[in-house]
Amino acid sequence: MVRNSMAKRFISCYNTIDQALRVQGNMSKSISYTEVIRKAARTNGIVRKYEDVLIDYGRLRNAIVHSADDSQVIAEPNQDVVENYEKIASLICTPPLAVDTICNKNFASLNYDVLIKDVMVYIYQSGFSSIPIYKDGMLIGVANATKITRLLGKKMYQKVDIKEFLETETIESALKDLQEDNYYTITNEKTTLDKILALFSENRKLLLIVITKNGSLLEKPIGIVTAGDIMDINKILDNYSKK
């Protein structure tokens, strides 16, 4: 039995993380802790962020105990290390929700029949670079300042009358030219920060994540997360792990 409190807490973290990641990734008991971390890091943003630390802590666990059942303690971990391991374990097992942390609930959405020129004016006035577009209560796309600018450049190259284009075309028609680019997605209110990081990591073109109650295109948005929020997400995780 492990009598040392620091060692006991450290080993508890090790076992908690090991078991949680094996369940989440449907991994067998035959693979090592290090391999579990490596595999989990491919899809879990939090594990990927602390991958090297978690592997180092796995090696430390092997230095702390000298038996398969964790009963023989031969070293004592530092208190700061134990507390950091506990915070990382908490992040992995009960990660913060995006809606409770990084989700921007002060955002705008526009209707499908707004003219392109008015969308551009609104983007300038509001300061929002990406705006969800809805038609009959359904999300049909995202008006993005950079994407629209590129579209205008394309029209100019094609010798289209830009003044007429801006004053007659709706944002719905513009979105049809942009649909091939997978630069936005939708998710539900239970999405955690590690999942948000994973979504941005999996799709480097992703600019905006729209959050609704159940992740349905037919629901009103609760909030949005942009690619520009990635740095703030990492800060939240850093601060969380130091509490």
The token pair at 133 is 């577009």
CA distance linking residue 80 with residue 54, whole number of Å:
14
Per-residue pLDDT tens for 84-123? 999 999 999 988 999 999 999 988 899 999 999 999 999 9
- CB-based contacts of 49: which residues, under 8 Å, 6+ apart? 197, 234, 237
Pick the CATH number of 100-241 from 3.20.20.330, 3.30.390.50, 3.40.50.150, 3.10.580.10: 3.10.580.10
- CB-based contacts of 133: which residues, under 8 Å, 6+ apart? 109, 110, 111, 112, 139, 140, 141, 142, 143, 171, 172, 175
Distance of CA 68 to the CA centre of its chain: 36
Q: What confidence category does residue 202 fall into, taking pLDDT thresholds of 50, 70 and 90?
A: confident
pTM over 0.85: no
Per-residue pLDDT tens for 36-93? 999 999 888 889 989 999 999 999 988 887 655 555 666 788 899 999 999 999 999 9
Q: Are 215 and 94 in contact (CB under 8 A)?
A: no
The token pair at 155 is 């029209």
CA distance linking residue 34 with residue 57, whole number of Å:
10
Q: Are 134 and 140 in contact (CB under 8 A)?
A: yes
Name the residue ranges covered by the structural domains of the chain. Answer: 5-94, 100-241
